[in-house]
Amino acid sequence: MQTTDTVLMIEPIAFGFNAETAENNYFQIEQKALDIQEKALAEFKTFAEKLRSKGITVIAIKDTAEPHTPDSIFPNNWVSFHRDGKVVLYPMFATNRRVERREDIIESIRNQGFQVTEIDDWSFPEIQGHYLEGTGSMIFDHDHKIAYGSVSLRLDENLFREFCGKYGFTPVVFHSYQTVGSERFPIYHTNVMMCVADQFVVICLDCIDDELERAKVIETIKNSGKEIIEISEEQMHRFAGNMLQVQNKDGEKFLVMSETAYRSLSNDQLSAIEKYCEIIYSDLHTIEVNGGGSARCMLAEVFLPKK
């Protein structure tokens, strides 16, 4: 099944601009305001409450003051929770993000009534400079066992292929770019330019410069039976690719995004999405500007079996 009714969110206590990740995350803009943490926390709480009001289970765990982890609000990069009870830990590009991996968070999930059969630690390659940042870098089509991955510093192609081999996914490897100034740079995470839902895929095809790679991605999506809802690069810059489909305990589906993303979409694009599911959106402006991530980045799906 593509969607889950349970997500992990990490409540920020010291959110802010992370200079380490800004090296290759061109979505980040440092704001000098003193109330960034306060605003980010308010955005976080409103977002979590909107999800809960629709019947989605949110497991919210507070960050810790030490060590300082300005990006802890984006847990989907360091951990994923799988239907077979496995918990996977991932190798992270920024050294100050590696300490986000916390055993007590996994224990908290277990205490919520979920089974954890194994912790599969893939973090070691980060010492050699090889990274695979979870469901930020990999986009899973769970129903068809396909994994989409855009090669960047945050997704090592060999690691990606190795992961797919172990977990039974067919890898679809490509390169995606964004225009910064007058230059094209690799997009840091695949999940800012595409979202795979149960019956559709939201994607910025203009970011895939290589025609053969673009054709392969299109062919794979079409063969999986999903509708392609295309967004522009400008919309991608407004986090219109950074979405996640979830469901509630009654099985109703929702596509989750930020208000920035929602406001960027045309009526036709909104109608195309709403054919399949309701949209939930929330104001995440402070988090987006300073953190360079949006709604999807804040949600780590919990697919673990219940005890």
* Model confidence pLDDT, tens digit, residues 200-255: 999 999 999 999 999 999 999 999 999 999 999 999 999 999 999 999 999 999 99
Give the pLDDT band of residue 27 (cuts 50, 70, 90). Answer: very low
Please say if the pLDDT value at position 19 is more than 60. Answer: no
CA distances from 44 to 33, 78, 150, 197, 283 (A): 18, 19, 28, 23, 9
What pLDDT, on a 0 to 100 scale, did the predictor assign at position 32? 65
CB atoms within 10 A of CB 111: 10
pLDDT digit string, tens, across residues 87-143: 999 999 999 999 999 999 999 999 999 999 999 999 999 999 999 999 999 999 999
Beta strands in the chain (DSSP E): 6-11, 57-62, 79-81, 86-89, 118-121, 138-141, 146-150, 170-174, 177-180, 183-186, 194-196, 200-203, 227-230, 244-247, 253-258, 278-282, 300-301
For residues 13 and 65, the answer to whether their CB atoms sit within 8 Å is yes
How much of the chain, in percent, has pLDDT values that exceed 90? Answer: 86
pLDDT digit string, tens, across residues 260-287: 999 999 999 999 999 999 999 999 999 9
How far apart are the C-alpha atoms of 140 and 150, rounded to whole Å?
12
What pLDDT, on a 0 to 100 scale, did the predictor assign at position 24? 55
How much of the chain, in percent, has pLDDT values that exceed 70? Answer: 94
Give the pLDDT band of residue 16 (cuts 50, 70, 90). Answer: low
What pLDDT, on a 0 to 100 scale, did the predictor assign at position 129? 97
Nearest Cα neighbor of 101 from 120, 83, 85 is 120
What pLDDT, on a 0 to 100 scale, did the predictor assign at position 214? 98
Q: What does DSSP assign to residue 103?
A: H
